[in-house]
Structure 1
Amino acid sequence: MRLRGFLLAAAGLLLAGGIAEAAPKIVAITSIVEHPALDAVRDGIKKGLADAGLKEGEDVSYLFETAQGNPATAAQIARQFVGENPAVIVAISTPSAQAVAAATKDVPLVFSAVTDPVGAQLVASVERPGGNVTGVSDMLPVADHVALIREIAPEAKRIGVLYNPGEANSVSSVAALRKAADGEGMTVVEAPATKSADVQSATRSLVGKVDAIYVPTDNTIVSALESAIGVANAAKLPLFAADTDSVARGALAAVGFNYFDVGVQTAAVVERVLKGENPGEIPVTFASGTDLQVNKKTADAIGLTLPPEVLQRASKVVE
């Protein structure tokens, strides 16, 4: 009886071990805030992994938390996720990636929608990231953005930029904007907003000082984009965005990445990590493909006529 009991107990342990081995790998996803572009990244990650044959509930399971724009909450989420011992943490946006990087040097970290991972001190270099980190950068085609502003609003000489100086990616974007604008004989006027509640007043500060407004992929600004658009439209100022998801929300135009596709690109990196590759040895990849979208309804509201060439090139025109 004792032997039988021992064998049964051993069989139970083996069974339990087998179940544990077959348990889905945890993919913990965090973002600094919820807005259409970042949500599209998350959805693209899940779709990309599903297309790679990783079934939710069988091969992978997901955790998701957003910090609602609060860096302290982002740090709390990072520590919480590390405690869950996931197979990989995916951090969408620079602040969330920095929070996770500060919380662990062991759990693999794949970032997404991070403009300047080197400047944000997430990786040593894009070729050899080092440590436990790699990911996908959405380094903006800022020169294309300035060229679009010039094409749609040829009389514009002063570009107002809304951004949060506390976001490393936004600081890099503003520096790139200044360089591109200078090459076109344009000047940049900064309007900082450190929280979403400041976006409306920051936009108002630009009225009468600029000929157009530009919004980079700044999570603070994009999370409160409607308040900026309301001020811009009332002042008959064209507001250009860096992400195409903002056009449907009222921005005049954008040349940017399809952030769902950025998520799919990120999933390819996550899959490599899940298969056992060392993140620090996987080069950082850059988002590919640009997409032009315009909002004719907004153009009509501010009394601006979109050039026929722009309308012909646009992949989407919001009527």
Structure 2
Amino acid sequence: MYQPSISRRGLIATLAAASALPLAACGSEDAKEGSSTGKASASDGKTYKIGVLQLTQHAALDQTNEGFIKALDEAGLSYDADQQNASNDQTACQTIAQTFVNDGSDLIFAIGTPAAQAVAAATKEIPIVGSAITDFESVGLVSSNDAPGGNVTGSSDLTPVSDQIDLLVKLVPDCKTAGILYCTAESNSTIQVDLAKEALESYDLPYEEFTVSSSNEIQSVVETAVGKVDAIYAPTDNTIAAAMAQVSSIADEAGVPVIVGCDTMVEDGGTASYSINYVDLGHKAGEMAVRILTEGENPADMPIEYLDASECTLIANQASADACGVDLGILDNPKIV
């Protein structure tokens, strides 16, 4: 039976405890732009103005947004949330970030690395809580993950990459060459790719990288990949995740399994994953925001927070497994979608 090897490699715990390492990073109803109002707080009666900048529309980021709002509501916070989606456009991120600053937001929630970078560039005074970001330190958002030192903190979506590679090897035992699919424009993906390479090398399994710079290149790149490899690994990359249905359609037709970085990528067609939960991730960020707003905590002194490895879920897509000839019966009680 497949058993995740967190205790053996412990990537999440290691990064949380040793932030100096150069490490860092999927439903729900779609997040919609506009304002939402939370229920009244019994603590101070103030209504907080919160800007929410989501990088793009896909299930993992939607779930992160959902979890954040859930935490605010559970705390009884009174708030007006201005929900904005940048549609994966960096210029739009910058414009929305500046609007939040000009509007005098009490706090800004940034979902995705480029969104957080745009907000951090726009203000050094307004507290910023980020999420769906793999390594805050390596992308320049904080001085260190243990001691942010500025106005940015949040929750990391570092996934157990080595366990995901273990899963690839388990499900595709005859794999001779693995492909790694990601977008070069996403720094968090590069961090995960480095971890994947390390894990593949520990198996002496050859690999080839297949990269895109935008969603327009996905079809041609994946079509090339499935002709060269026996299995593909795709990390929690926003560009790939948003196009997962397209990726899986091409891969399934070729009989090439795709092991992915998160559960929503499996739900959208990926073969399998060992995944964190993005609602929980957003909820953790929301709890941090509540402490900043109501308890006066300073983001500079709030270490980046991580989900515990025990909260990860083994998940598999039956249709993809059938198309690729993968036997899910060897897995230990996976969630099947």
**How high is the TM-score relative to the length of structure 2?**
0.84
RMSD: 1.3
CA distance in 1 between partners of 2:177 and 2:122 (Å): 41
1:34-75 Cα distance to aligned partner (Å, 9 max, x none): 100100000011111111222xxxx11111111111111111
Question: Which residue does the alignment assign to 1:155?
Answer: 174
CA distance in 2 between partners of 1:270 and 1:162 (Å): 34
1:128-156 Cα distance to aligned partner (Å, 9 max, x none): 10110111111121111000101111111
Q: 1:286 aligns with which of 281, 298, 306?
A: 306
Letter in 1 for 2:205: M
CA distance in 1 between partners of 2:98 and 2:206 (Å): 42
1:299 aligns with 2:318: no
Question: Which residue does the alignment assign to 1:66?
Answer: 85
- Following TM superposition, by how much is the alpha carbon of 1:23 offset from its aligned partner in structure 2, in angstroms? 4.9
1:248 aligns with 2:271: no
8 Å Cα contact 1:112-1:135 kept in structure 2: yes
Matched position secondary structure for 1:118: coil
1:130 aligns with 2:130: no
Letter in 1 for 2:327: T
The higher relative CO (CA closer than 8 Å, separation ≥ 6) is in 2
Question: Which residue does the alignment assign to 2:15?
Answer: none
Question: Which residue does the alignment assign to 2:11?
Answer: none
8 Å Cα contact 1:178-1:187 kept in structure 2: no
CA distance in 1 between partners of 2:160 and 2:102 (Å): 37
- Following TM superposition, by how much is the alpha carbon of 1:266 offset from its aligned partner in structure 2, in angstroms? 1.0
- Following TM superposition, by how much is the alpha carbon of 1:253 offset from its aligned partner in structure 2, in angstroms? 0.5
- Following TM superposition, by how much is the alpha carbon of 1:230 offset from its aligned partner in structure 2, in angstroms? 1.1
CA distance in 2 between partners of 1:188 and 1:125 (Å): 32
Superposed, which structure 2 residues align to 1:195-234 within 5 Å?
195-234=214-253
Point out the structure with max Rg over C-alpha: 1
Task: State which drifts further: 110-119 or 202-211.
Answer: 202-211
**What 5-or-longer segments of structure 1 have no aligned partner?**
1-20
Identical amino acids, percent of aligned pairs = 36
Superposed, which structure 2 residues align to 1:28-67 within 5 Å?
28-54=51-77, 59-67=78-86
- Following TM superposition, by how much is the alpha carbon of 1:290 offset from its aligned partner in structure 2, in angstroms? 0.7
Question: Which residue does the alignment assign to 2:16?
Answer: none
1:26 aligns with 2:46: no
1:75 aligns with 2:98: no
Superposed, which structure 2 residues align to 1:238-277 within 5 Å?
238-275=257-294, 276-277=296-297
Going from structure 1 to structure 2, the CA distance change for 1:31 and 1:187 (only over 3 Å counts) comes to farther
- Following TM superposition, by how much is the alpha carbon of 1:22 offset from its aligned partner in structure 2, in angstroms? 4.8
1:279-298 Cα distance to aligned partner (Å, 9 max, x none): 11111111232111111121
**What 5-or-longer segments of structure 2 have no aligned partner?**
1-43
1:14-33 Cα distance to aligned partner (Å, 9 max, x none): xxxxxxx9551012111110
CA distance in 1 between partners of 2:101 and 2:161 (Å): 35
Letter in 1 for 2:202: G
Shift >3 Å, 4+ stretches: none
- How many residues align? The count is 291
**How high is the TM-score relative to the length of structure 1?**
0.88
